[in-house]
A = this chain, B = another copy of it.
Amino acid sequence: MGKALVYIQSGGPTAVINTSLYGVIKEAKKHPDEISAIYGSLNGIEGLIDNKIIDLNKEKDETIELLQQTPGAALGTTRYKLPKDIKDPIYQKILCTVQKYNIGYIFVNGGNDSMDTCHKLSVLCKELKLDIKVMGIPKTIDNDLAVTDHCVGFPSAAKSVINNVKQICTDARCYKRGKVFIIEIMGRNAGWLAASVDLLPAGSRPDYMYLPENSFNMEQFLKDVKETYDRKGHCIVSISEGIHFERDTSAARVDAFNHVQLGGAGDALAKIVEDKLNLPTRSIELSLIQRADSILASKVDHDEAIACSKVAFESALKGETGKMVCIIRKSSNPYTVEYKLMDIAKIANVEKTIPFEMIGGKTGMTDAFKKYLRPLIQGEIDVKYKDGIIETATLEKHLL
């Protein structure tokens, strides 16, 4: 007589977010004695609050397989933040659902904010002495979770950014008198993703790259752009959406986690270039595709997503709780990792930016960064297409 498992997807999706889900389902199915049911919570923690739980065992095998190449959170996701006070009635609702369905295992797949949810749930269960194991599975394209070497989802996003920026650079450089291109890449405070284009070879990489971790001097920037354009007939600049320069921030909005919604940095910078230098300028925002590009998913990332899920599942079965699976790098060449559990309290709400020794100047990163990133984007997924279109999983979502 086992207990039920419930899986939660939370925060921004990644190209392999559903690969992690696939990994847990696959493991859980091997343990019918311990796991009485495999459930999914719709729209993150909201499903547990509102009693919107689906039975994942009723999904077709083919659908479960296709999760491995399906972007977007198949269970739906949320940015809902749990209240601080454990006595808040919200927690009563969660406990009600948990007990109604005999849930013994909660897996939270998410980034920074989601690990906060995971932490609060594990504290709740411990304080109430409930026999419920709560485990975190790392996921964020931002790569800003503490302790873990990198986050599941980041390598695939980096691979999409690198390959698309290479193709864009190759296209953008084919006119004699071209444009100034500003390519905006995701990343609020940590420039991991924007920095990833550093793996591109000379000729097919941006001329300049700016990260939130870098200092940005507008005067010098405009001088550099003008000099490069005059010399080459084009200039390609990649920026992290979170770079800091003076502009009208009056329109900035704040989301539920008190983050300023950035975006538009590329447009703003392009306008400045156009106004000040009077050069033809085009802003390119890689936008949602960088976190939804299952076609360009990294094989390393895919395999690590499944491995993390396996470790999370097996550890929970052994009685672990309140932990997140971390990837610990043993060596970069050959690339080898091991998986360890870390206290979620040490991870929740802590943001990891790029360490100083990896940050180069405005034209590139250090060798330490290249050494770090190169192994992560290796290998391609054998994507299944039907009539030229990527096949994706659509869950039937049988509600309990």
A200 at the interface (CB under 8 A from B): yes
Question: Which residue of B167, B170, B392 is within 8 Å of A166 (Cβ)?
Answer: B392
- The reply to whether the CB of A57 lies closer than 8 angstroms to some CB of chain B is no
Is the Cβ of A284 less than 8 Å from the Cβ of B284? no
B-chain residues with CB within 8 Å of residue A296 when the two chains form the complex: 295
Distance in angstroms from A205 CB to nearest chain B CB is 10
Q: Mark A161-175, 1 if CB is under 8 A from B, else 0.
A: 011101110111111
Over the window 18-60 of chain A, the binary record of Cβ atoms lying under 8 Å from chain B Cβ atoms (1 yes, 0 no) is 0000000000000000000000000100100000000000000
From B78, B159, B298, B385, A176 is in contact (CB under 8 Å) with B78
- Residues of chain B within 8 A (CB-CB) of A390 are 163, 166-167
Chain B residue nearest to A378 (CB atoms) is: B388
Interface positions, chain A 150-188, Cβ under 8 Å from B, are 159, 162-164, 166-168, 170-176
Least CB distance, A265 to chain B, in whole angstroms: 14
Q: Given A387-B374, A390-B166, is A79 in contact with B175 using a C-beta cutoff of 8 Å?
A: yes
A13 on the B face (CB < 8 A): yes
Which residues of B sit under 8 angstroms from A389, Cβ to Cβ? 162-163, 166, 199-200, 377
Interface-centre pick from A166, A288, A293, A388 (highest chain B CB count, 10 A): A388
Determine which of B72, B159, B176, B377 lies in contact with A173 in the assembled complex, contact meaning CB atoms within 8 Å: B72
A65 within 8 A of B: no
**A171: contacting residue among B159, B172, B291, B394, CB under 8 A:** B291
Q: How many copies does the complex hold?
A: 2
Task: Assess whether B377 is in contact with A388, with CB atoms less than 8 Å apart.
Answer: yes
> Nearest chain-B residue to A388 (Cβ)?
B377
Task: Give the distance to chain B from A86, nearest Cβ to Cβ, in Å.
Answer: 24
Of B46, B174, B292, which one neighbours A72 at CB under 8 angstroms? Answer: B174
Does A170 lie within 8 Å of B392, measured CB to CB? yes
Mask: chain A, 282-299; 1 = CB below 8 Å from B; 0 = not:
101101110111111010
Closest residue of B by beta carbon distance from A170: B72
Q: How long is the Cα–Cα vector from A79 to B152 in the complex, in angstroms?
A: 44
Q: Is the CB–CB distance between B292 and A170 below 8 Å? A: yes
Residue of B nearest to A296 (CB): B295
Report if A143 contacts B (CB, 8 A): no
Which of B199, B295, B374 is in CB contact (< 8 Å) with A167?
A: B295
CA of A374 to CA of B387 in the docked complex: distance in angstroms?
Answer: 7
- Interface: A70 (CB within 8 A): yes
> Which residues of B lie under 8 Å from residue A114 when comparing CB positions?
none
Judging by beta carbons under 8 Å apart, are A295 and B295 in contact?
A: yes
Q: Per a CB cutoff under 8 Å, which of B46, B77, B168, B394 touches A203?
A: B394
Please name the 5 residue pairs, one residue from A and one from B, whose CB atoms are nearest each other, closest first.
A377-B388, A72-B170, A171-B292, A72-B171, A73-B174
